Chains A and B, each alone.
Chain A
Amino acid sequence: DVKVTQSSRYLVKRTGEKVFLECVQDMDHENMFWYRQDPGLGLRLIYFSYDVKMKEKGDIPEGYSVSREKKERFSLILESASTNQTSMYLCASKTQGAGGLYEQYFGPGTRLTVT
């Protein structure tokens, strides 16, 4: 079974803190993604990575950065957390190939609250 795990299910941070969200997949997938999910807005892509040390901006990268030092691990970093970054964060991975022909496997999500 494909497994995507996220370091925390729930996280509460203060405004201005640096926040790290970790994601690990065990299927040797090349592609990894970070999304945020907000009611009525669906999933919006923050960043994705095709390979180790490779990253590309998604639709809403502002206020976020990422790191991929190992193939199985993709980290999302909030340099200075703000209240508008309160959201559900979902990590996903998939094998390389046309985006719509292969399943994206999702982690359970991290619900981040910034106070």
Chain B
Amino acid sequence: TQLLEQSPQFLSIQEGENLTVYCNSSSVFSSLQWYRQEPGEGPVLLVTVVTGGEVKKLKRLTFQFGDARKDSSLHITAAQTGDTGLYLCAGEFGNEKLTFGTGTRLTIIP
């Protein structure tokens, strides 16, 4: 079973600060997705990255896929309280299934 490690596990920062969370694996992904989950809800897809070195932006969120397709990062600029949630990366290894990371629980303090 492939494992995805996310770091940090918990992150609490002030509104307006920048932050980066990471997703790492020892295996090569075919593609990688980032999801956000709010309390009492299921995860919702934010982005899919496919190509090594790919960078995608979603407003204040920047997603990067490592050149070797073994890691990914999510950078948030000028964090807002609405960014609070659990961020999950999920890697696909060439079949119909996703393997989810352990998650980063982000809290933005007003």
Interface of A with B (CB < 8 Å)? 4, 9, 31, 33, 35, 40-45, 48, 50, 58-59, 90, 92, 96-101, 103-109
> Once the chains bind, are B30 and A98 in contact (CB under 8 Å)?
yes
* Residues of B15-37 contacting chain A, CB below 8 A: 29-33
Per DSSP, chain A at the interface is loop
Q: For residue B33, which residue of chain A has the nearest CB?
A: A100
Cα separation A106 to B31 with both chains bound (whole Å): 19
> Once the chains bind, are B92 and A99 in contact (CB under 8 Å)?
yes
Known: A98-B31, A100-B33, A100-B91. Contact between A45 and B43, CB under 8 A? no
Known: A42-B103, A90-B42. Contact between A99 and B50, CB under 8 A? no
Chain B contacts of A59 at CB under 8 A? 1
Please name 24 pairs of A and B residues whose Cβ atoms are closer than 8 Å in the assembled complex, sorted by A. Answer: A4-B42, A31-B96, A42-B6, A45-B97, A45-B99, A48-B97, A50-B96, A58-B97, A90-B42, A98-B92, A98-B96, A99-B30, A99-B95, A99-B97, A100-B30, A100-B32, A100-B91, A100-B92, A106-B41, A106-B43, A108-B42, A109-B40, A109-B41, A109-B42
**CB-CB contacts of B47-79 with A at 8 A, as 1s and 0s?**
010100000000000000000000000000000
B51 to chain A, nearest CB (A): 12
B1 to chain A, nearest CB (A): 5
B9 to chain A, nearest CB (A): 7
> Once the chains bind, are B48 and A101 in contact (CB under 8 Å)?
yes
